[in-house]
Structure 1
Amino acid sequence: MVGAIAQLFVFLLAGEALHRLSGLPVPGAVIGMVLLVIWLASVRGDRARLESVSSWLTAHLSVMFVPAAVGIMEEGGVFARFGTALVVATTVSTLLTIVVTALVMRWALARFAPTEAAE
């Protein structure tokens, strides 16, 4: 379990390092998450420990919002400059996601739902 937590922190650290060295306008945690996804897609193996740690973290997700809120507060200048655009983009993308999810769900139910036998 400690190895899986260390693995998550290594990807977080790599993302933070890339963020600071390159000056990308993407948070280091997001870069680290993308690196983790790339690693998971390219390296096959036993991921049971990583899954158990991830399940535990997901179960305690509310605690994880504290660092995210601090990160948002550190980017106050960005929000002051682009706040309206960020709110509009977030609202539009959320609505679009809801609509696409509903359409895909309707299609999947129509396509894969068992048909009732006609009596």
Structure 2
Amino acid sequence: MLAAIALLMTCQLMGEVIHRVTGLPLPGSVIGLVLLLGWLALVPRERPTLKAVTAWLTAHLSIMFVPAAVGLIDEGEPLSRYGIGILAATAVSTLLTMVVTALVFRWAVTRFGPGDAGDKEGGEAMS
């Protein structure tokens, strides 16, 4: 289990190093995920252990948000100055994301869904 955690941390660190050294316009964490994906493609025996570690991390994900919440508390002045704008932008972008997701889902169901679109059952499901 420690080896899997070390693999995750190493990929993260290498991604950050690559980002800083090369100046790629991708976050280091994304580069680290690509490195992890490459590693898992080359060494598939790592998958079961990594699956156990990531399941544990996902189950305890709420713990990961505590540092972020504490960081927000330290940013009182910028939040008081730009807080309304941040909330408005977050609400609008969330609403737009939900609408676009629903529209794409409806399109995908009508395009790739089971049965003919002219079926009585299929037609009722789309309404």
* Matched ranges for 1:1-119 at <5 A: 1-10=1-10, 11=12, 15=16, 31-40=27-36, 43=39, 44-45=41-42, 46=44, 48=47, 49-115=49-115
2:69 aligns to what SS in structure 1? helix
Distance 1:62 1:103, change over 3 A: same
Structure 1 residue ranges without an equivalent (≥5): 22-30
Distance 1:71 1:39 in 2: 28
Deviation for aligned residue 1:118: 6.1
**TM-score normalised by the chain length of structure 1:** 0.66
Which runs of at least 4 in structure 1 moved beyond 6 Å after TM superposition? none
Q: Which moved more, 1:56-65 or 1:42-51?
A: 42-51
Q: Check the 8 A contact 2:4/2:50 in 1, yes or no.
A: yes
Higher relative contact order (CA 8 A, sep 6+): 1
Identical aligned pairs, as a percentage?
Answer: 47
For these two proteins, the number of residue pairs brought into alignment is 107
Structure number, greater radius of gyration: 2
CA deviation map 1:23-71 (0-9, x unaligned)? xxxxxxxx45333234245553335133332222112222222222112
